[in-house]
């Protein structure tokens, strides 16, 4: 087994939402272009039949790597926070996704994540999730790996084989203790609301009625720390107090799971990669953005599925860009390999 060194990468925010810019992991130097200048051209391919032909021409031992972002779940009704202001009650969502924000105002952060949990539990996997899950089944563990930056759990609910799905940023339905000295973790908690104090985040309203929780002019409910979710393991071992539970997601400034990253690195360096799929993401957050470059170095044709034309920047004439909805594009791209989704 290849054992490349993994230095506990942390989740960093990039400054430019484009495939050709990535955030440097180790030295925090200025973003670099994804592809060399000789490859930057607008002559990329947009033909679905041409991509289908490419897939059909691949040998049985060919390998495909996918990197997925929030755009994959957009058709399921989940917001990406990247358009139309991208705010939650006038807060930049990334400002709430930090350990510092949780320490300063755990009630505010928990309301934000309780609302996201509610939205994720209401949503259903779309045909894009299902197409990727089916591709994983057809290609097998040696032939397909999916790296998802999404924390909504929809890929898992679509039946994506766990061994071929790497949730780089965790899962919003996972709970873990906020104390660094406690290892308590609970997977797939679907309680909604998670506790009575967070009930405001689990209420539904008619489409024509404003949602008080999302209206910055409406005061938030006052929530005491004691009423937030607490760690049962800490509570059992301490007669005085217990630590708060927190969402099982990777916040900005925190390290990603090193064992998971080592597994991804070993898979990448096991052989050539014929196709790199970049789905619903600007590939701007490191370390996920670096996987596109690594796949390209291993011979991959890059195929971007993203409605934003800026996502095509840096693609070469051998690459593909599809500007449609991933829920519609992916089933069409993979039909020759997986058949029709839903049949």
Burial class (CB in 10 A: 0-12, 13-18, 19+), 109: buried
Tokens standing for residue 83: 């358009």
DSSP-based helix, strand, coil % in the chain, nearest 5: 35, 15, 50
pLDDT value, residue 149 = 93
What is d(CA 275, CA 273) in angstroms, rounded to the nearest whole number? 6
3-state secondary structure of 44: coil
**Other CB atoms within 10 A of residue 40 CB:** 14
Label residues 291-302 b or e (16+ Cβ within 10 Å = b).
Answer: bbbbbbebebbb
What is d(CA 283, CA 34) in angstroms, rounded to the nearest whole number? 10
What is d(CA 252, CA 14) in angstroms, rounded to the nearest whole number? 11
pLDDT value, residue 130 = 98
pLDDT value, residue 8 = 57
Helices vs. strands in the chain: H and E counts, helices first:
10, 9
Output the tens digit of pLDDT for each of the chain's 343 residues: 444 444 457 666 544 333 333 333 223 333 334 443 334 446 899 999 999 999 999 999 999 999 999 999 999 998 776 544 567 888 998 899 999 999 999 999 999 999 999 999 999 999 999 999 999 999 999 999 999 999 999 999 999 999 999 999 999 999 999 999 999 999 999 999 999 999 999 999 998 888 899 889 999 999 999 999 999 998 766 645 679 999 999 999 999 999 999 999 999 999 999 999 999 998 877 777 799 999 999 999 999 999 999 999 889 999 999 999 999 999 999 999 999 997 6
pLDDT value, residue 1 = 45
Q: Write the DSSP assignment of 101-169 as a string of letters.
A: HHHH-HHHHHHHHHHHHHHHHH----HHHHHHHHHHHHH-TTTEEEEE---S-HHHHTT--GGGEEETT
| Nearest to 124, CA basis, from 152, 151, 148 | 152
Strand partners, 237: none
pLDDT value, residue 86 = 62
For 244, list phi and psi in degrees, rounded to 5: -75, 145
What is d(CA 304, CA 321) in angstroms, rounded to the nearest whole number? 5
Which residues sit in the known binding site?
177, 182, 231, 234
What is d(CA 107, CA 113) in angstroms, rounded to the nearest whole number? 10
pLDDT value, residue 343 = 66
Please state the pTM of the whole predicted model: 0.85
Q: What is the pLDDT of residues 47-104, one digit of tens each?
A: 999 999 999 999 999 999 999 999 999 999 987 765 445 678 889 988 999 999 999 9
What is d(CA 143, CA 164) in angstroms, rounded to the nearest whole number? 9
Residues 6 or more apart in contact with residue 333 via CB below 8 angstroms: 48, 51, 52, 55, 131, 303, 305, 322
Report all structural domains of the chain as residue ranges with CATH numbers, in order of start.
12-78+125-169+256-343 (3.40.50.1220), 82-122+170-249 (3.30.1600.10)
Which residues sit in the known binding site for Zn(2+)?
177, 182, 231, 234
Catalytic residue numbers, as ranges: 169
Q: Write the DSSP assignment of 79-95 as a string of letters.
A: --SSSTT--BTTB-HHH
- Return the H-helix or E-strand segment holding 265: helix 258-268
pLDDT value, residue 289 = 77
Burial class (CB in 10 A: 0-12, 13-18, 19+), 151: buried
Tokens standing for residue 279: 């789905």
């Amino acid at each position: 087994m290849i054992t490349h060194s993994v230095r506990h990468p942390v989740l960093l925010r990039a400054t430019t939402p484009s495939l050709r810019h990535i955030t440097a992991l180790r030295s925090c130097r200025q973003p670099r272009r994804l592809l060399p200048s000789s490859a930057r051209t607008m002559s990329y391919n947009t033909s679905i039949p041409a991509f289908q032909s490419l897939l059909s021409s691949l040998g049985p031992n060919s390998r495909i790597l996918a990197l997925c972002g929030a755009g994959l779940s957009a058709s399921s009704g989940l917001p990406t926070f990247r358009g139309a202001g991208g705010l939650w009650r006038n807060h930049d969502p990334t400002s709430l996704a930090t350990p510092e924000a949780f320490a300063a105002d755990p009630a505010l952060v928990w309301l934000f994540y309780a609302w996201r949990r509610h939205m994720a539990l209401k949503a259903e996997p779309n045909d894009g999730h299902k197409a990727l899950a089916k591709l994983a089944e057809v290609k097998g563990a040696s032939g397909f790996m999916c790296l998802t930056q999404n924390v909504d759990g929809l890929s898992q609910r679509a039946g994506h084989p766990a061994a071929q799905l790497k949730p780089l940023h965790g899962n919003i339905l996972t709970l873990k203790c906020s104390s660094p000295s406690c290892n308590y973790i609970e997977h797939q908690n679907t309680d909604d609301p998670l506790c009575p104090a967070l009930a405001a985040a689990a209420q539904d309203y008619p489409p024509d009625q404003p949602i008080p929780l999302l209206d910055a002019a409406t005061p938030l409910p006052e929530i005491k720390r004691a009423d937030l979710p607490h760690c049962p393991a800490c509570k059992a071992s301490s007669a005085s107090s217990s630590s708060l539970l927190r969402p099982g997601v990777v916040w900005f400034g925190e390290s990603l799971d090193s064992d998971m990253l080592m597994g991804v690195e070993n898979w990448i360096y096991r052989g050539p990669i014929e196709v790199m799929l970049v789905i619903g993401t600007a590939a701007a957050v490191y370390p996920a953005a670096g996987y596109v470059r690594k796949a390209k170095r291993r011979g991959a044709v890059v195929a971007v599925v993203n409605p934003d034309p800026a996502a095509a920047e840096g693609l070469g004439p051998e690459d593909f860009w599809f500007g449609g909805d991933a829920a519609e594009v992916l089933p069409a791209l993979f039909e020759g390999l997986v058949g029709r989704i839903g049949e």
